[in-house]
Amino acid sequence: MARPFLFGTNFKMNQTPTESAEFYRQLAASVQIPSDTHLFVIPPYTSLAAVTVVAGQPPHQIWVGAQNVHWAPEGAYTGEISVGMLLALDVDLVLLGHAERRRYFHEPDVELNRKVLAAVGANLRVLLAVGETAEERSFGVGGETVLRQLKIGLHDVPPEQLGLIQIAYEPVWSIGAGGTPASPEDVEPIARLIRSGCADMFGETRTSGDRGSGGDIPILYGGSVDPSNAGTFTALPDIDGLFVGRAAWTVEGFLATYRAGYEGKSTSR
């Protein structure tokens, strides 16, 4: 069975609750989502309640994601948010390990692993972001970095919870306003490496019942994606979707980039 196509955006530290809710309302009203596809938006914490009200009762047509979560169920962690708090708002997914969290907030892989396990243990989907810096790439250890982030991040995830995991490959040198767009030739070998890392950890093919395998984990690409290049990344065999920043921060941009990416995948299947 083909892996699903995924497409979504992270608003980072932008938007008020009213703006995020309006974005979601307009997007939901403008899009027909094929059965092989999942769309998602990841607003800031302060917008989550307003967006999930617009999204209505779960299952949500468009997943609503949070940008981070703490690993502990509760306690003396001022400023942090627990998995239970997100689930109480009907949040569908949590982004973990974004390059900005790793860089500015010094989130190490072992802490990210605790967060991944806390989320999947409570049945919350995870989008784990991995990616090498320009410096690591220049020393020829980009692949090692990505595999380390993947293998520590997903350590001990039970096979029956693998269906909750998706990976976003985001080379740090290609994301955000100062980023250099990557080419599909840059992305292809790392996507293949992530795929084989997932297979090493969890096996390649589905074995039985609800137990997932490494071959089932969707891999998204992110970094300076826009409608002009989206389809070139999704045409790659190991890329199952896109995780987009700036180009998807308007409803029109979201739809144009999603459609270009979906078309690239459909024509390559």
Cβ neighbours, 10 Å, residue 268: 12
Name the minimum Å distance from CB 48 to ligand PEP. 19
Query: Does residue 246 touch ligand PEP according to CB under 6 A?
Result: yes
Question: Which positions from 136 through 195 interact with ligand PEP, judged by CB under 6 A?
Answer: 170, 175-176, 179
Query: Using CB under 6 A, which of 27, 157, 164, 244 touches ligand PEP?
Result: 244
The dihedral built from the CA positions of residue 238, 241, 243 and 247, taken in this order, carries a sign that is positive
Q: Counting Cβ atoms within 10 Å, is residue 204 exposed (0-12), middle (13-18) or buried (19+)?
A: middle
Q: Is 170 a catalytic residue?
A: yes
Name the minimum Å distance from CB 180 to ligand PEP. 10
Question: Which positions from 88 through 127 interact with ligand PEP, judged by CB under 6 A?
Answer: none
Catalytic residue among 60, 98, 111, 132: 98
Q: For tokens 């096979």, what's the residue?
A: 159
Query: Does residue 224 touch ligand PEP according to CB under 6 A?
Result: yes
Q: Is 98 a catalytic residue?
A: yes
Stretch that binds ligand PEP, among 41-49, 61-69, 144-152, 244-252 (CB under 6 A): 244-252
Rounded Cα distance, 37 and 33, in Å: 6
Stretch that binds ligand PEP, among 50-58, 65-73, 151-159, 237-245 (CB under 6 A): 237-245
Identity of the residue, 10 or 161, whose beta carbon is nearer to ligand PEP in the bound complex: 10
Name the minimum Å distance from CB 210 to ligand PEP. 31
Pairing mode, strands 241-244 and 219-221: parallel
Query: Does residue 206 touch ligand PEP according to CB under 6 A?
Result: no
Binding residues (CB under 6 A) for ligand PEP: these are: 10, 170, 175-176, 179, 222-225, 243-247
